[in-house]
Every structure is written in structure tokens, then in C-alpha cells.
Amino acid sequence: MQYLSTRSADHRVSLSTALQEGLAPDGGLYVPERFPDFGPETFADCTTIEAVSERLLRPFVEGDPLADELTAICEATFGFPVRLRGVGRRTSVLELFHGPTAAFKDVGARFLADSLARLNENADQPLTILVATSGDTGAAVAAAFWKKPHVEVIVLYPKGKVSDRQEQQLTGWSDNVQTIAVRGVFDDCQELVKAAFQDEHWQSRKRLSSANSINIGRLLPQMTYYAYASLQHWRTHGTRPTVVVPSGNLGNGLACLYARECGLPIGDVIFATNENRPVTHYLDTGEWTPFESKETLATAMDVGNPSNMERLRHHWSTAEALAEAISAERVTDEQIQDQIQRGLDEWSTVWDPHTACAVDVRDRLARDTDRDWILVATAHPAKFPEVVEPLIGREVDIPESLAKVMARSHPPPEIDPNLSSLAHVVFDESPSVHP
């Protein structure tokens, strides 16, 4: 299997190259050249998510140096449960939050981390992953790379601009993971990453790479929980469930579509967004326009210009074509609050603000149609206590894995938003050396 850039079909690379480069040299995103055609019976003997992953991902690593290591990579990726839990009439929740940082991003980050560690085994210098984060991505990446050989991570986050709990998750690391608080906003962190990538001094001293969500190495493993859940549903009910995916940058939703392309028994796919409107606007009007991102209660979905739109438009080239593949529904903050408030009574469940979007979409559409639902739970509610706890009137218990990370939290070095201050911390040198 080869991977091509969304901007030039002639530029084809192996999976390993796509993982290491992240972005194609022409600025495009890597996509698989084709999808294998599996039927549900292909997975008849696969009972664990590790087994399903290995079977599903096998064609995607074909011909790549990682092919021989796929079994080990799938085992390293999971090692925590993915649960499909029935919650009510014809409705199940796909719980993707049992990993180390209690959100679905653990899956993609762990697959990528393990793959990159293996690909750099014989390099004379570790690979340095530089990430700017506004909260959750950084924690998932830090957790995934922590103590992996041949790789190191530098996480930059805006001081005072993330919640206390997010900060504790970002700063609970050591060894090969360094977290730095930047006196500025998220954009300053992102500018610092860009500046380091373009700086000769950094280039000569570090082998820099990024692990952001556009990396195909994060997308592919996300297909596997849709495969696992839809197979489980198929075996029990013999139907193709409608899957509702809380969506922002659209990677998770796209992974669901990829799984369906591979022949898995998935019915309709609905992207549940918050008040940010790029996707619904595109589907409604046929015109693609990025928006300024709007702050909502489902912060991890506050995206005005989702990067995976480029992949969606590559595979489904017009709005009409995309509208055949998916639908999208917008959910307001009031609706999110309302669902969280009613969650315990109606579903015996405490929803996090992102999952609440999927629940609201189901509520709207279940009135008129007769179907089975899988609602994707992208995060544990304990990650967002400031939103959730006042609405349910009690505290949310913190999952053990998350509590462990937070207990290790320690004050990070703080820098001004310029490259010489960053170099000072990273290379342990005087800021005046590289003005």
C-alpha cells in the first residue's frame, strides 16, 4: 500500500515515510491509495480489539518495514479496553476514554508513538517531536511517547490558558518528555514550533518532527474501534448501526468513514459539531469557507477550519458527494448543558460536553427514524469538571489512569514566547547565544 498527497496523486510514499513526514512536501495530507474490501465474515475469529486492528490494518502496512511489527504495534496501542455499552433502546455508547489521558486521542497517539520508536531504532539521534497544544492533544502525545526509546517530546502550552486539570495532565511527565509553559496564547506556541522547524541551529541539533492530528499514523488506528464496535453490533443484532461522531478537526469522523469504506457494517455516519459551522455550512450551501473558530463548551471541537476537510474533499470531491456519505448537525452550548443535566436521569450516564453533542443529535433524529445507534464517547467527563459538575450537582470520579498522571504533575519551566528562550530551556544554554 502506498500513500498519496491530497495535492498531487503522483507523489506516493510508503507508510513509514508518511508517518515520519506528517505533512507531504507539497503541503498536502497523505491518504491511502485504496481501501481493502473486507466483509464482516473476514473478522469471524477476531474477538479482541487487538486482533481486529491487526486484521484491518494488515493491508495498510503491506510492503512497509512496519509490516513485521504490526502485531506488536497493535498490542502496544491498546492495552486498555474499548467498550461498547448499551444505554437504552437500540442505543450503545462507544467508550473511547479508558486510555491514559481518558480521551480517544490516546489511540492514535499511541499507535504513532510506537511506530516512530520502531522506525528510529537505528538512528544515531532520537527523533524530537515538537507539539504546541491548547490542551488535550499535548497530553495524549506526551503520554504516548513517555519512556519510549529513540524518541523525545517537547510540549508547549499557553500558561494560564488551559484548565487546571489539563495543566496537571500536561505536566505529569519526565524523562524523554519535556513540558514547557509559554507566557502567551496558543498561537504563540504554534509560532514557536514553526520557528524551530525553520531554524538552522535547531535543524542541526535535533531531528524534528510533529505528531499532530493530520498524521495518517493517527487516523488509521482510529478505524479499528469503529470496526470492533460495528462487528460487535452486527454479531448481536445483524444490523448496521448509525454512528454519531462528535467532530472538530474531523479526523475521528473520517476514520469512521474509512472503516465503512473497508466494508465494515456501519450504516449512516453523522458528524455532531458544536456551534462551529464549517461543515454544516459546506453541506448546506455547497461552498467551502473556513470560519473563525468560536469558543464553546466542547472546547476540543472548537475548530473553524478543520484540516481533515482536505482529505474529505479529496475522497468526496463535491458537497453533493459528501452529503451522500455523511450528514452533520450543529449543537449549541445550551443543548450541551441540557443533555449533561438530563444524562443521569435519562441514560444513567454522566456525559462529557463533547459526547453530549452526539447524544443531542440522536435525540433529534431518533424521533423520526427507526434505527440502531452508536454514540461515540470521545472523552471522560472527569476531564471537564468545570462544565459538568455544576450541571449534575456533584463531583465526577476521576479514572485511575488519569489520577496517576495528575499525581505526578510538577511545575514546568516557563518561557517568554521567543525561540531563544525555548533554546535556553531545551539546550540548556544562555539565551544570548542565539539571539
Binding site for ligand PLP (CB under 6 A): 103, 105, 136, 213, 246-253, 300-301, 354, 378-379
Nearer to ligand PLP, 2 or 280 (CB): 280
Beta strands in 71-149 (DSSP E): 83-88, 91-95, 127-132
Measured from the CB of residue 213, what is the shortest distance to ligand PLP in angstroms? 6
Measured from the CB of residue 412, what is the shortest distance to ligand PLP in angstroms? 21
Whether 79 and 30 have beta carbons less than 8 Å apart is answered as no
Nearer to ligand PLP, 18 or 357 (CB): 357
CA-CA distance, 38 to 348, in Å (whole number)? Answer: 36
Nearer to ligand PLP, 242 or 252 (CB): 252
Measured from the CB of residue 48, what is the shortest distance to ligand PLP in angstroms? 24
Nearer to ligand PLP, 113 or 379 (CB): 379
Nearer to ligand PLP, 42 or 222 (CB): 222
Nearer to ligand PLP, 2 or 305 (CB): 305
Q: In what order do the strands lie in the sheet with 30-32?
A: 8-13, 3-5, 30-32
Max distance between CA atoms of the chain, in angstroms, equals 67
Nearer to ligand PLP, 206 or 354 (CB): 354
Phi, psi of 2 (to 5 degrees): -115, 165
CA-CA distance, 265 to 261, in Å (whole number)? Answer: 10
**What DSSP line would sit under 214-249, residue for residue?**
T-HHHHHHHHHHHHHHHHHHHHHHSS--EEEEE-SS
- Compute, in degrees rounded to 10, the torsion defined by CA atoms 315, 317, 319, 323: -30
Measured from the CB of residue 27, what is the shortest distance to ligand PLP in angstroms? 20
Phi, psi of 375 (to 5 degrees): -100, 130
Question: What are the cell numbers at 370?
Answer: 427507526
Q: Which residue has the cell 454514540?
A: 375
Nearer to ligand PLP, 141 or 422 (CB): 141
CA-CA distance, 77 to 92, in Å (whole number)? Answer: 23
Nearer to ligand PLP, 19 or 298 (CB): 298
In our burial notation (b when 16+ CB lie closer than 10 A, e otherwise), range 21-38 reads bbbbeeebbbbbeebbeb
The residue nearest ligand PLP at its CB is 249
β-bridge pairing 91-95 and 83-88: antiparallel
Whether 337 and 284 have beta carbons less than 8 Å apart is answered as no
Measured from the CB of residue 253, what is the shortest distance to ligand PLP in angstroms? 6
Measured from the CB of residue 249, what is the shortest distance to ligand PLP in angstroms? 3
Measured from the CB of residue 355, what is the shortest distance to ligand PLP in angstroms? 8
Provide the CB-side half-sphere exposure for 192 (13 A, CA).
Answer: 29
Measured from the CB of residue 378, what is the shortest distance to ligand PLP in angstroms? 3
Give the number of other CB atoms < 10 A from CB of residue 44. Answer: 10
Q: Which residue has the cell 541551529?
A: 201
β-bridge pairing 177-182 and 414-415: parallel
Measured from the CB of residue 79, what is the shortest distance to ligand PLP in angstroms? 20
Nearer to ligand PLP, 375 or 379 (CB): 379
Measured from the CB of residue 103, what is the shortest distance to ligand PLP in angstroms? 5
Of 144, 193, 151, 207, nearest in space to 173 by CA: 144
